[in-house]
Structure 1
Amino acid sequence: MSPEPLALPSRDWSDWLVDYVLGGLRTVSEVLERLGDGTLRGTAEVLGLWNDADIALRGAGSAAALFVEVHPDPDVRRRAEELVQQVDRVRTDRDLDRALYDVVAETDSAGLDEAARRMREHVLRDFRRSGVDRDDRTRARLREISERLTVLDQDFGRAIRDDVREIRLIPEQLDGLPADFLAAHAPAEDGLVTVTTDYPDYHPFRAYARDAEARRDLTVEFDSRGWPANDAVLHEMLDLRAEKARLVGYDSWPDYDAAVKMIGTGAAIDEFIQRISATADAAGRRDLETVLARRRADEPAATTVDRSEIGYYTELIRREQYDVDAREVRRYFDFPRVRAGLLEVTGRLFGLEYRPVDVPRWHEDVTVYDVYAEGERRGRIHLDLHPREGKFKHAAQFDLVGGITDRLLPEGVLVCNFPRGLMEHQQVVTLFHEFGHLLHHVLGGQQEWARFSGVATEWDFVEAPSQMLEEWAWDATVLGTFAVDETGTPIPVELVERMRAAKDFGKGTWVRTQVGYTAVSYLLHRDRPTAHTEAVFDALERHSLIAGVPGTHFQTSFGHLAGYTSAYYTYLWSLVIAKDLFSAFDAADLFDPSVAHRYRDRVLVPGGSRDAADLVADFLGRPFAFDAFATWLDRAPVSRATR
């Protein structure tokens, strides 16, 4: 019998959260006290006690971190922030405790199975990276840095989350927007329409609004969220990370951060940036010339394309040259059907069943399902998919409970900001992507060791399974199972073929833009420039090919600088692997269970119990390669004129 899910409260959320998190921290304290009591123990018992404390610490931290981002009550969110700080203090104290380190270091790996031996090695490595082997003064400083970084990360994210900006327009400035967008944005009493920087407003407006000035105004607001508050926060954050890296023996934060990732070193990040930039150069410039030529049809003197223009002209070209009107495509993607289709597709693909359950939840928008495989409950998922005030502004999967074999049922939460009605197809792709993380958390949640449960591989691999799952959102057979219009007519195969052709246009500028974000993430940490805005403009324009918009401060709204730090490169690194993983599937039959189940069992189910490179090689039968990515990038788009 599988373990029972976590019982969430129907009311008094603040009290429940405090009791749950502090109860977990008390367990951590009690177990670690026992571990360090001087009793002579064998390796298995030492690692078992460490694991017990790790389970409790992870549970406390997951709950606190989740409800900072999703709970509708601001008082609960503030209390959750305080609890996150307490959790991080306990984690820091544990990782800097020299006596605990000695207990683990004095164990012997002889006789351990592969997973236990890996567990011991990772614990010792984490201790050393925390600075446990430094002198008392250095450890005290490292403790101060860790506690301060927790607060700064929270400040940075909160400033972005709470800074919802808006522009006010006359109705004529919404020309080009779809009918349902116009219906949801009626003029106020003063005759003006409000458009915000939240995703359901920003993305359609950026893609369809014909008014260039209005697009630019909204882009300025969107790319300046968090300004100016996050400017000082980011400077201090970068300085403290650099100091921490030096104190534990690294030349820079990128070197420290990369040492436990597939890429290995900070210098290798720079090399990867240059390689991807060069690989995408021809495709990026090909796309840019096409966009610039189309812009010149409107503005003959135009010499550049900036961030307020690239989305609009890319969609315009897809409409005019590839016969794909994203506004028309939206007819086939009504949110309730898409959500049901996602569950049907992934259930069929991986041999899963999703059973809805009526249980307490933090908001009425949240839907909850238990995940079954072969009649056995394997996990629980919570889908929180619409925007609201005070909620996380992007799309991500959060842990609620890390799975432990026969002890804890894995539970994950998908947090997105999709419209309640018609969706952009790109939003459907995003939903498939993020659901891939959720599946990884649940399917990889049958582990003995908390350290390896769920999405616990090297951080520069975690995006690969999700990026690969996006391919199912582009397949005509797959889409035909749930994408229907208001009359119930499935999306035409010929339309999907045109969508796929149009998808190939813009991938070069998209990859180069991702390289730009990667360069921002890396260079801010490596160089720590005095003037962030100027450095960011330079990096984006040099690598992305798309001009910045004057008056913006992209870095203060770039939330990944808190979570991913210097490692935004992981999206492109993972994409290289994802393209290679997908090459093992038959594009003519994406539901082939033999390949899908082998992928499930060899890549997702192991969680972090093996190195990512070994998981990929086990599935592919060889080490991963760059070839599939380069082939995809080099494939030129085929417009109506060239078909």
Structure 2
Amino acid sequence: MTNAPLTLPSLTDAWTAWTRERATSELARAEALVEGLRTAPPTDAVAVLRQWDRACGHLGNAAAIGSLLGNVHPSEEVRRLADSAEQDAHRVATRWSLDRALYDVFAGLDEEQVAGDPAASRLLEKVRADFRRSGVDQDDASRERISAVRERITELDQEFSRVIRDDVRTIRVAPEQLAGLPQDWLAEHPADEDGLVTVTTDYPDAVPVRMFAHDRDVRRDIAIASNERGWPQTEPLLTELFALRHELATLVGYCDWPSYDADVKMVGKGSNIPEFIDKIAEAAEVPMRRDLDQLLARYRRDFPDAEAVPGYDYNYYAELVRSEAYDVDSQRVRSYFDFARVREGLLEVTGRLFGLRYDRVDVPTWHEDVSVYDVFAADTAADTAGDPADGGTGGLPAGRLGRIYLDLHPRSGKYKHAAQFTLTDGVAGEQLPEGVLVCNFSRGLMEHDHVVTLFHEFGHLLHHVLAGHGDWYRFAGVATEWDFVEAPSQMLEEWAWHADVLRLFAVDASGEPIPAELVAAMRAADDYGKGIYARTQMFYAAMSYWFHADRVLVDRGEAAPDLTERMIELQGRYGALPYLEGTHMFASFGHLGGYSSGYYTYMWSLVIAKDMFAAFDPDGAGDLLAPSVLEVARRYRDAVLVPGGSADAADLVANFLGRPFSFDTYAAWLAR
């Protein structure tokens, strides 16, 4: 490939001008290509589609730089500018989608001209559907209203993200109240001049405190602080956001937002979402009760009259159950997971699995914490043990495949969760795929849960890079149906649970690798709580769905439920743990932004992930880096990851498995 990665500013004070120029120039290129379609479109249908696709690629570049820098750049000025750039890109996309003259260009294309090109034919079908879903066929007044609604939705989504990103809450406690915390954590949190220790709601602070602090009041206080992030500022933002999404959906002919949103997902119909939620909830009922009985029995040793375990005590007592019943001490476990070793181990494992090589490069970034790697297909079988006869490249082009940025530690003004962001989508010969992993991990020892999260998010990054070598931006990267997006990442988590994998990088301070018997105990302990987890996820999914679906009540002249009251009701129906009185966790539930009514997609994807993983380890006890597994991994890579969005996700999975995916593998795993 001749195309090179982006060159980012090397000087701190150059970022503002660079961000403005990048966004402005990409928008200008996009607009020029679309203007050409309006005024002098090519006579060939494939050429029309290619010009449109390139315009969308440039528009995507502008939106991507806005989304990324708005969430990671240390400068508030750059973040604000980036947010504005993202808004501009969304405005342009909305204007295009409502342009009847532009739609007529695609409506009038001769389908026979693309009949021999499956990708072009698929693109034409999707472009026409996009225009219809946008409301291009509505009257002038409706289209004007749609444009205004979409612009406001973008603003609300950004403001919601900004508030919860910036709202870091704290508690201050006496050092003795932190008894139980690991020594390395305590060393990083000295008392201030008042003799108190400040604990923030950022993950590296809050998670260990909720798991290990013996002081119940401290656990409760940090749980309340975490659940109150964003409250009350985000409630009016969310209320308006849900109302506008509903209005947008009804303006273009759908009964509600979930129906509109589901129409382009594997689930198909909005009404299928609550059916799926109830199906999972029913399958998880017995495992949840089993988990809760075990948890309550342990809790009653300390609180004999307890009828239930409060949510703020769950992490601590679940940890005690795992420690006592399964002989798993998380503080011992974390001693094997030094961050730097984990990061390098992740690269080694995924490189061997997928026939890749990561070369660290010294290039400018937005923060000194960020590490950068160029990704290559392995040149020879010797590069990755057990490669099949194709030498490790398989369906991948030779040479540099992409560039990845790892931004993995918390800081002020940065995105608070874990996600993969796009820097550029990839198209063969034109633009290299570049992706960014944004997380908030400790710089020292990591909880194993965070190791699993790192593997998960890296799965998105791999999907982005490996699927960035086709001919169309529309199908580049993680461009499959949204309810499949999590499946490859969830499946990659499995490699963080096997001793043969972990021993490559999980070593303690003396250099001893993690014992296989400890990993086996960790797996058994992890099985504890999966019923609680599934029901908690269905509570989140139900909240995501019903907050949006409830807007139909307003159409009938009724009032939509108060968000807090609805949250409490749904937690009682689906959740495993009781509501924490006086809290409003929905106010910082960031998935209500990007995922809208589709949080169910995590569990939908997990069902598929469990089914796909069975092809790697059908007996459940194999070496996940054995030559036979690596051969399956290359086949999976080329059948599922490399194609991106060039085919329906169900077809990609069926091509890999040799059959349609099934619910049975997940149900069996949940029940055992």
The TM-score bracket by the shorter chain reads over 0.9
Residue in 2 aligned with 1:266?
Answer: 270
Of 469, 472, 490 in structure 2, the residue corresponding to residue 446 of structure 1 is 469
The answer to whether the aligner puts 1:619 opposite 2:656 as a matched pair is yes
Secondary structure of 2:587's counterpart equals helix
Of 231, 240, 243 in structure 2, the residue corresponding to residue 239 of structure 1 is 243
Change (3 A) 1:76 1:293: same
Of 558, 563, 570 in structure 1, the residue corresponding to residue 594 of structure 2 is 563
Residue in 2 aligned with 1:64?
Answer: 66
The answer to whether the aligner puts 1:174 opposite 2:197 as a matched pair is no
Secondary structure of 1:160's counterpart equals helix
- 1:24-103 correspondence to structure 2 within 5 Å: 24-39=26-41, 41-103=43-105
Moved more, 108-117 or 24-33: 108-117
Deviations 1:494-552, CA, capped at 9 Å, x for gaps: 11011111111011101110011001100111114341011101112220121111121
Counterpart amino acid of 1:387?
P
Deviation at 1:590, TM superposition (A): 1.5
Deviation at 1:185, TM superposition (A): 1.2
Question: RMSD of the TM alignment (CA)?
Answer: 0.9
Moved more, 175-184 or 247-256: 175-184
- For residues 623 and 508 of structure 2, the distance between their equivalents in structure 1, rounded to whole angstroms, comes to 24
Deviation at 1:304, TM superposition (A): 1.5
Residue in 2 aligned with 1:638?
Answer: none
The answer to whether the aligner puts 1:7 opposite 2:33 as a matched pair is no
Change (3 A) 1:40 1:346: closer
- For residues 414 and 20 of structure 2, the distance between their equivalents in structure 1, rounded to whole angstroms, comes to 20
Deviations 1:256-283, CA, capped at 9 Å, x for gaps: 0000000011110010011000000000
8 Å contact kept, 1:212–1:309: yes
Counterpart amino acid of 2:328?
V
8 Å contact kept, 2:156–2:241: yes
- 1:156-171 correspondence to structure 2 within 5 Å: 156-171=160-175
Secondary structure of 1:110's counterpart equals helix
- For residues 208 and 351 of structure 1, the distance between their equivalents in structure 2, rounded to whole angstroms, comes to 40
Change (3 A) 1:602 1:393: same
- For residues 218 and 570 of structure 2, the distance between their equivalents in structure 1, rounded to whole angstroms, comes to 26
Deviation at 1:82, TM superposition (A): 1.0
The answer to whether the aligner puts 1:484 opposite 2:500 as a matched pair is no
Residue in 2 aligned with 1:230?
Answer: 234
- For residues 40 and 431 of structure 2, the distance between their equivalents in structure 1, rounded to whole angstroms, comes to 29
8 Å contact kept, 1:2–1:409: no
Counterpart amino acid of 1:98?
R
- 1:621-640 correspondence to structure 2 within 5 Å: 621-635=658-672
Secondary structure of 2:194's counterpart equals coil
The answer to whether the aligner puts 1:401 opposite 2:403 as a matched pair is no
- 1:140-539 correspondence to structure 2 within 5 Å: 140-375=144-379, 376-528=399-551, 529-539=560-570
Deviations 1:342-397, CA, capped at 9 Å, x for gaps: 00000001000000011110000000000000441000000000000000000000
Residue in 1 aligned with 2:387?
Answer: none
8 Å contact kept, 1:322–1:498: yes
8 Å contact kept, 2:44–2:113: no
8 Å contact kept, 2:42–2:48: no
TM-score (norm 2): 0.94
- For residues 527 and 305 of structure 1, the distance between their equivalents in structure 2, rounded to whole angstroms, comes to 30
Deviation at 1:39, TM superposition (A): 4.6
8 Å contact kept, 1:2–1:377: no
Unaligned runs of 5+ in 2: 380-398, 552-559
- For residues 475 and 349 of structure 2, the distance between their equivalents in structure 1, rounded to whole angstroms, comes to 27
Residue in 2 aligned with 1:110?
Answer: 112
- For residues 642 and 222 of structure 2, the distance between their equivalents in structure 1, rounded to whole angstroms, comes to 43
- For residues 8 and 225 of structure 1, the distance between their equivalents in structure 2, rounded to whole angstroms, comes to 33
The answer to whether the aligner puts 1:590 opposite 2:619 as a matched pair is no
8 Å contact kept, 2:41–2:48: no
8 Å contact kept, 1:207–1:312: yes
Deviation at 1:214, TM superposition (A): 1.3
Counterpart amino acid of 1:90?
V
8 Å contact kept, 1:71–1:391: yes
- For residues 302 and 247 of structure 1, the distance between their equivalents in structure 2, rounded to whole angstroms, comes to 51
- For residues 639 and 275 of structure 2, the distance between their equivalents in structure 1, rounded to whole angstroms, comes to 30
- For residues 39 and 88 of structure 1, the distance between their equivalents in structure 2, rounded to whole angstroms, comes to 24
Deviation at 1:186, TM superposition (A): 1.1
Secondary structure of 2:435's counterpart equals strand
- For residues 558 and 416 of structure 1, the distance between their equivalents in structure 2, rounded to whole angstroms, comes to 17
User: Quick one: percent identity of the two aligned structures?
Assistant: 58
Deviation at 1:40, TM superposition (A): 5.8
Secondary structure of 1:145's counterpart equals helix
Change (3 A) 1:60 1:210: same
Deviation at 1:37, TM superposition (A): 0.3
Counterpart amino acid of 1:178?
P
- For residues 551 and 180 of structure 1, the distance between their equivalents in structure 2, rounded to whole angstroms, comes to 33
What is the number of equivalent residue pairs in this alignment? Answer: 635
Of 604, 607, 618 in structure 2, the residue corresponding to residue 576 of structure 1 is 607
- For residues 595 and 2 of structure 1, the distance between their equivalents in structure 2, rounded to whole angstroms, comes to 31
8 Å contact kept, 1:197–1:221: yes
Deviation at 1:36, TM superposition (A): 0.5
- For residues 493 and 46 of structure 1, the distance between their equivalents in structure 2, rounded to whole angstroms, comes to 58
Secondary structure of 1:360's counterpart equals coil
Deviation at 1:171, TM superposition (A): 1.2
Deviation at 1:111, TM superposition (A): 4.1
Q: Which runs of 4+ in 1 moved over 4 A?
A: none
Deviation at 1:329, TM superposition (A): 0.4
Unaligned runs of 5+ in 1: 636-643
Counterpart amino acid of 1:620?
L
- For residues 617 and 40 of structure 1, the distance between their equivalents in structure 2, rounded to whole angstroms, comes to 37
- For residues 111 and 235 of structure 1, the distance between their equivalents in structure 2, rounded to whole angstroms, comes to 47
- For residues 177 and 108 of structure 1, the distance between their equivalents in structure 2, rounded to whole angstroms, comes to 68
